[in-house]
Amino acid sequence: MSKIVIDEKMKRTLIEKAIEVLPNSFAPYSKYNVAAAALFDSGNIYTGVNVESASLGATICAERNAIFHAVAEGDRKLLAIAVVGGRDGDIDDVYCAPCGICRQVMRDFADKDEMLVISAKSPDDYIEHTLEEMLPMSFGPEAL
């Protein structure tokens, strides 16, 4: 059982933290800026942004950047993540959703039925799904 309740205030906090770091995104090639804020069961929130490389395969998504930062700090149980982004950092046009690779990484650190994925345009305009809804019939650590 998690120590943290993901209420409206916490959702707002996650979205605000993601929006706050969005200007740090480094996307000179795609021009598609993304930021994420991930909540772990410790209560810690980790942020990340996408960082592109001229060797596109070396690019890292915002969600994985945040999750890997958490892992480096010793956190392992992901409860929720807020994602914002858009072309040239314009978050008014789309609900930015995690890519398939990021969804799989989330699956390694979360309870698929409880983990919340929040795609936001603003703290007041967002949609949410469980990880299970976003990655049905997923392959997880229990299968190994």
Question: Average pLDDT of the chain?
Answer: 95
What is the structure's pLDDT at 3?
A: 58
Name the pairing type of β-strands 45-49 and 32-40. antiparallel
Catalytic residue among 8, 16, 63, 73: 63
Q: Per residue in 89-109, pLDDT tens? A: 999 888 999 999 999 999 999
Domains and CATH numbers, the chain: 8-137 (3.40.140.10)
Q: In sequence order, what are the beta bridge partners of 35?
A: 49, 84
- For residue 63, indicate whether it is catalytic: yes
Q: From CA 118, how far away is CA 116, in angstroms rounded? A: 6
Other beta carbons within 10 angstroms of residue 20's beta carbon come to 13
10: three-class secondary structure by DSSP: helix
What is the structure's pLDDT at 1?
A: 43
Q: Are 51 and 65 in contact (CB under 8 A)?
A: yes
Q: 22 pLDDT band (50/70/90 cuts)?
A: very high
Is 2 a residue whose pLDDT tops 80?
no
CA count, 13 A, side-chain hemisphere, 29: 11
